[in-house]
């Protein structure tokens, strides 16, 4: 039973919430003449004269895709290995500051009977790699700060680009990627591997075929205890760069793994678009507690000011009235989770913490494991039917990395639109600064820029050609 005081507080909180959000209410009937008004806005620069959008961009087919890898540490070396299993590929250049990493990558080529690649190891050599005339695709696996600068320069040199996540760290960098891709007509793909997970692809296929009815709400996350990696002084992140980002910014710093598959399920910028978000961060406890326990109460690490709150929760409303929840926590001792939850008018599915599917009229409980496995087999995505067996053998997060690489090369060789385009890269990466600004302003609503500048209406669904 609620006491009068508790009821009063609940009512007050509800009123304050509605006052804060009232200007940002959304409905399916929103039109260009009925724009939402968020309290924090980022400018949407007009498209330069002579520049057009790259929705479903097609380029000339490339019979043999000549690839250069920039950054061959842990992620980059894994990518080089996977590419030795792909047909229609030639690995021509490797670039990294650490000679040992270059040696390891060259050894992978030798073990497969492939010719050695040219190597580069000076800090600015990535520019030389981008300038080579015998390169079609630049594959970027450096630390986050270089993703956008390398991608932009590579496209300006006429190269297609695939970059690790996040593709950009600021809204300005997002616009740099978009404008450069539109101007040069070069592909810019963010290497979001989770879109190619077997379960995620199956649920995408289920959604496309109407199994869940009208999708109303989705949830995703990146919940992964990385404290041991952040404070690893040797054989960890180069120059401990990832720890620095957690020290200096309070935001969802790594949104794309849980977010990407959901954006494709909701057809973001292919018939719908994100309108605004609100973001809330807890205070920071985990980094300090871990550092004090590992290095001592008065140690350098133990006394630093880590800015990023442990748990970030961001809520997003779309133009068509759908809701999205995305979480980020890399400093709490808890099981790994991407959530991956989809709720519609006919059913429900989630992957973490317990995998399950529930469909009308029996949606009060999950169907049996046997029935779910049968359903997942029935709705297996055509892509995994085609390449799934080889992907499991080659590996890379259970095969989804190889499937991602296979699809990128398949589309380039056949002149097809990529599964993920530059607008995906911009929208998913934009969550970093958008969440940061909302948190800075006490969870104030922040408008999500339309990086397509109106072109999101040109097609009605995400297509994996």
Interatomic CA distance for residues 5 and 8, integer angstroms: 5
Interatomic CA distance for residues 381 and 283, integer angstroms: 41
pLDDT at 37: 58
Task: Enumerate the CATH 3.40.50.720 domain ranges in the chain, comma separated.
Answer: 65-191
- On whether the pTM is more than 0.85, the answer is yes
Task: Enumerate the CATH 3.30.360.10 domain ranges in the chain, comma separated.
Answer: 194-381+421-457
Interatomic CA distance for residues 67 and 322, integer angstroms: 39
pLDDT at 20: 45
Residue 389 DSSP label: H
Interatomic CA distance for residues 411 and 464, integer angstroms: 9
Q: pLDDT tens digits for 231-250?
A: 999 888 999 999 999 999 99
The CATH homologous superfamily to which domain 65-191 belongs is NAD(P)-binding Rossmann-like Domain (3.40.50.720)
CATH architecture type of domain 194-381+421-457: 2-Layer Sandwich (3.30)
pLDDT at 38: 63
Q: Per-10-residue mean pLDDT for the chain, 465 residues long?
A: 45 40 40 56 95 98 98 97 98 97 98 98 98 98 98 99 98 98 98 98 98 98 97 92 97 98 98 98 98 97 98 98 98 98 98 98 97 98 98 97 98 98 99 98 97 98 98
pLDDT at 29: 41
Interatomic CA distance for residues 410 and 413, integer angstroms: 5
């Amino acid at each position: 039973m609620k006491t009068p005081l508790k009821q009063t507080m609940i009512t007050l909180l509800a009123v304050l919430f509605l006052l804060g959000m009232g200007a940002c209410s959304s409905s399916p009937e929103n039109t260009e003449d009925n724009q939402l008004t968020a309290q924090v806005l980022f400018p949407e620069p007009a498209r330069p004269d002579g520049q057009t959008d790259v929705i479903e961009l097609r380029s000339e087919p490339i019979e043999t895709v000549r690839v250069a890898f920039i950054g061959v540490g842990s992620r980059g070396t894994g990518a080089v290995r996977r590419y030795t299993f792909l047909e229609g590929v030639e690995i021509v250049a490797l670039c990294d500051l650490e000679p040992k990493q270059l040696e390891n990558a060259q050894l992978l080529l030798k073990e497969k009977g492939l010719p050695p690649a040219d190597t580069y190891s000076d800090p600015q050599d990535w520019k030389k790699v981008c300038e080579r005339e015998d390169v079609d695709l630049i594959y970027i696996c450096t630390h986050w700060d270089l993703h956008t600068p390398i991608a932009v320069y590579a496209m300006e040199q006429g190269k297609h680009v695939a970059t690790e996540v996040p593709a950009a760290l600021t809204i300005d960098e997002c616009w740099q990627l978009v404008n450069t891709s539109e101007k040069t007509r070069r592909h810019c793909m963010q290497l979001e591997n989770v879109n190619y997970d077997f379960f995620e692809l199956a649920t995408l296929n289920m959604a496309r075929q109407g199994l869940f009815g009208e999708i109303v709400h989705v949830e995703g996350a990146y919940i992964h205890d990385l404290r041991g990696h952040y404070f690893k002084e040797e054989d960890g992140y180069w120059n401990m760069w990832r720890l620095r980002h957690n020290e200096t910014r309070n935001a969802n710093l790594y949104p794309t793994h849980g977010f990407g598959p959901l954006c494709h399920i909701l057809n973001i910028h292919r018939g719908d678009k994100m309108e605004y978000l609100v973001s809330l961060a807890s205070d920071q406890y985990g980094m300090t507690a871990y550092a004090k326990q590992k290095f001592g109460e008065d140690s350098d690490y133990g006394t630093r000011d880590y800015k990023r709150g442990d748990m970030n929760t961001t809520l997003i409303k779309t133009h068509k009235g759908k809701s999205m929840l995305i979480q980020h926590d890399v400093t709490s001792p808890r099981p790994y989770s991407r959530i991956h939850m989809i709720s519609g008018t006919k059913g429900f599915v989630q992957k973490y913490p317990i995998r399950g599917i529930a469909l009308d009229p029996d949606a009060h409980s999950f169907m049996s494991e046997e029935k779910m496995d049968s359903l997942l087999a029935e709705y297996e995505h055509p892509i995994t039917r085609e390449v799934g067996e080889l992907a499991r053998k080659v590996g890379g997060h259970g095969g989804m990395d190889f499937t991602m690489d296979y699809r990128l090369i398949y589309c380039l060789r056949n002149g097809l639109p990529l599964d993920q385009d530059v607008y995906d890269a911009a929208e998913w990466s934009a969550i970093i600064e958008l969440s940061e600004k909302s948190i800075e302003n006490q969870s104030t609503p922040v408008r999500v820029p339309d990086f397509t500048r109106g072109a999101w209406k040109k097609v009605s669904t995400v297509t994996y050609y």
